[in-house]
Chains A and B, each alone.
Chain A
Amino acid sequence: MKTYIRATGNISPQQSFGHQFLTEIIEHTGDRLTCIEPDYKGIIDVKLIRRMSRIIKMGVAAAMECLQESGVTIPDAITTGTAYGCLEDTGVFLTKMVEHNEELLTPTAFIQSTHNTIGAQIALMLQCHNYNNAFVHRGFSFESALLDGMLLLAEKEANNVLVGGIDEITNISHSILSRMDLYKCEQISNLDLFTTKSKGTIAGEGASFFLLANASSDNDYATLDGMHTFYKPTSATETEQQITSFLSAQSISINDIDLILTGRNGDTKNDELYSQLQQSVFKNSSTGNYKHLCGEYPTSMAFALWVAVNIIKTATVPTVISKEVKNKPKKILIYNHYQNIHHSLLLVSAC
């Protein structure tokens, strides 16, 4: 059974909302890329907009854009992945709790801080009573949501599934994560991420939704052929083996892949593994990058998937992604690792 990616909806640090595919590249300077948000009026009820925090608005709007494109009004299932959840609401409630010594608190921020809020709000807006799940496993959050969706299709429990990956940066989270030395000290342009050889990456965020379906609509972006995740590999050799066995399980070889989208994030140590793979399993392959456009965050694979399926649909590889591919890509492999803990592979093909 094939899994089709019928529609997408994406809010990112690029002009991605409104189904624009990297027609204009947005440059950011600094260690933090912020999403370019649409005008939510017309997408979300004005009364709701006021109450929703930024991540909820971004998630709901991306989901609505995806559903609209798909022509599906009520999906058979909704699965979401977020590593950090609704950080802004969490921060608001924690701050008030500390400042007011656990007194005089109001419930709104607490209610909206739960990790299933985005999936729940989508269900509420659609009056969708179907399967609804939320995954919160760091660099595997989106992948888990995607796997759940693919399983539901395989089980024939659903004909279509709305799957999303969402994470936000807040001032609080950025301040804490910066203390963990994750980001570059120097102020650079995101477009220079791979030419600036130094420690650290740039922080990112985004909300990307996909409608997966078990039947072709004749207007799908691509097919999602397979996904594989592996946790804390002990060596580069193990990573190579995992990649090779994933391709074997798909009955293809690395030579069948037209483009490999890798999760390089500009941190010299982090990117060593990608360089090693480019000397081994990826040696004769064309590769491209995506994190200079969205920044590094645990659910960035959702942005990568959006890039990959748009490349297939438009039959063009933007030079900002890769200068190596000349032909129209038919098969794209995405390989990303998050902090060398969570490793993910996704394979998409032209329909």
Chain B
Amino acid sequence: MSSPVFVVGLGAISAIGNNVAECLTALKTEAAGIGDINNLQTAHRGKLPVAEVKLTNEQLAIRSGLPSTISRTALLSMLAAKEALDDAAIQNISSLRTGFISANSVGGMDRSEDFFAEFLADNAKGKLRDVVNHECGAVTELVADKLGIKNYITTISTACSSSANAIFLAARLIKHNMLDVVIAGGTDALTKFTLNGFNTLMILDQQFCKPFDENRKGLNLGEGAGYVVLVSEKVMATLKKEAYCTLSGYANANDAYHQTASSPDGTGSFLAMTGALEKSGLKPADIDYINLHGTGTQNNDIAEGTAIKRLFVDQYPKMSSTKSFTGHTLGACGGLEAVFSALAIKHGIIYPNLRLETPMVDLPFVPERKFLQNVPVRNVMSNSFGFGGNCSSLIFSKI
């Protein structure tokens, strides 16, 4: 049970790039992907900034080999999952027990909401093909079938911590010797449903978001997909490439405070971070970088910050919220940020927290504002906290 689980493949698509290399370049050059709404057909165009992937469904379909009529969430998932699997370059994959554990928050909602407009006017109307993949699990299956994976498939939906939990479960299934290889992460496309939902909560910044700034006004929604390929020690020994890192710690806790808001002292966040440290056998001082959940809402950032203040006391690691680049990608964020965490370890880099002007007065630390390189990054903590009080932290470690 204590055998390590290795990260050997990465795949990402987000507003800052259509693959891992493009995302990394954007992170290094401080190029955020947030802007006006171009793709999503919504009344909020020109009013709310979002972080859209810069490809149309038709372009995504050509690149992914899936039809353009299916959910954008599946198209994004396919591109990132395939990139991760190709990157892992596992020669004899057909002889291994391979799983696909994906997360998303609203399944094929981007198509369902189109269907729904026609359906509401007349229940006999609306194309069924637009609603047939409404379920979260249907999105996962479209990709699993295209990748030819069937040993184990499941879907997790715990709001914004969904894909961290997918990676977490993947590692456990490998440790239990139930699977040899797992592609794990998550995906979410922007939908009117989520954009309007977050808008009613009044937590969307009408400007570009400013995570961990005293004057932060909310989050920007984003879209994308991020996956890591995890393998067992046995499979690792057969690979010709080096692993990026190990997944050394993980924990899941519940804030049990409110359906959407975090407790002021970040109880759930604290428990998740503490639990992950315990699992990895590391001390707070061993963490070199925290990829913050850092949504940019008043509530999240003070709760997360307070929990970090309590846990790390006077030894604050470097930290930043890459949501200042990608927006908040909901079911995909844990996957995307796992990819960024693995890259931070491999390249010895720390990402900047963009647009941070005034540090939060109640916190004794300030996230990094500039891109740093040639930094020793041994252990990275990645935080994902969501609605329903679901809090998860992952720790990635250098080999």
Residue contact B137 to A138, C-beta cutoff 8 Å = yes
Give B170 Cβ to nearest chain A Cβ, in Å. Answer: 12
Q: Which of B148-156, B216-224, B343-351 contacts A (4 or more CB under 8 A)?
A: B148-156
Query: Chain A contacts of B258 at CB under 8 A?
Result: 124
Give B361 Cβ to nearest chain A Cβ, in Å. Answer: 28
- Give a binary string over B242-259; 1 marks a CB under 8 Å from any A CB, 0 the rest: 000000000011111111
- Give a binary string over A311-348; 1 marks a CB under 8 Å from any B CB, 0 the rest: 00000000000000000000000000000010000000
Residue contact A116 to B154, C-beta cutoff 8 Å = no
Residue contact B193 to A180, C-beta cutoff 8 Å = no
Q: Does B43 contact A (CB under 8 A)?
A: yes
Query: Chain A contacts of B113 at CB under 8 A?
Result: 94, 97-98
Q: Do A120 and B196 contact each other (CB < 8 Å), given the known contacts A136-B136, A137-B140, A137-B155?
A: no
Q: Do A137 and B197 contact each other (CB < 8 Å), given the known contacts A130-B253, A151-B176?
A: no
Q: Does A159 contact B (CB under 8 A)?
A: no
Q: Compute how far the CA of A236 lies from the CA of B137 in the bound complex, rounded to whole angstroms.
A: 24
Q: Does A218 contact B (CB under 8 A)?
A: no
Interface residues of B in 187-246 (CB under 8 A from A): 192-193, 196-197, 199-201
Task: Report the contact-size class of chain B (Cβ under 8 Å from the partner).
Answer: 35 or more
Give A21 Cβ to nearest chain B Cβ, in Å. Answer: 31
Query: Chain A contacts of B157 at CB under 8 A?
Result: 85, 114-116, 134-136
Q: Compute how far the CA of A94 lies from the CA of B109 in the bound complex, rounded to whole angstroms.
A: 10
Query: Chain A contacts of B132 at CB under 8 A?
Result: 180
Residue contact A137 to B150, C-beta cutoff 8 Å = no
Q: Compute how far the CA of A126 lies from the CA of B389 in the bound complex, rounded to whole angstroms.
A: 13
Residue contact A129 to B268, C-beta cutoff 8 Å = yes
Query: Chain B contacts of A130 at CB under 8 A?
Result: 253-254
Q: Do A99 and B120 contact each other (CB < 8 Å), given the known contacts A83-B137, A114-B105, A120-B259?
A: yes
Q: Which residue from A78, A140, A144, A176 sits with its C-beta under 8 Å from B119?
A: A176
Q: Does A101 contact B (CB under 8 A)?
A: yes
Residue contact B254 to A128, C-beta cutoff 8 Å = yes
- Give a binary string over B106-127; 1 marks a CB under 8 Å from any A CB, 0 the rest: 0100001100110110011000
A residues neighboring B (CB under 8 Å): 78, 83-85, 90, 93-95, 97-99, 101-103, 105-107, 110-117, 119-121, 123-124, 126-138, 140-141, 144, 148, 151, 154-155, 172, 175-176, 179-180, 229-232, 341
29 contacts between A and B (CB under 8 A): A84-B135, A85-B157, A93-B193, A94-B116, A98-B117, A107-B197, A111-B201, A119-B388, A128-B256, A129-B271, A131-B252, A131-B254, A132-B252, A132-B389, A134-B157, A134-B390, A135-B154, A135-B155, A135-B156, A136-B155, A136-B157, A137-B137, A138-B135, A138-B137, A141-B137, A144-B155, A176-B131, A231-B150, A231-B153
The 6 lowest CB-CB distance pairs between A and B, nearest first, are A120-B388, A110-B197, A137-B137, A138-B137, A115-B157, A107-B200
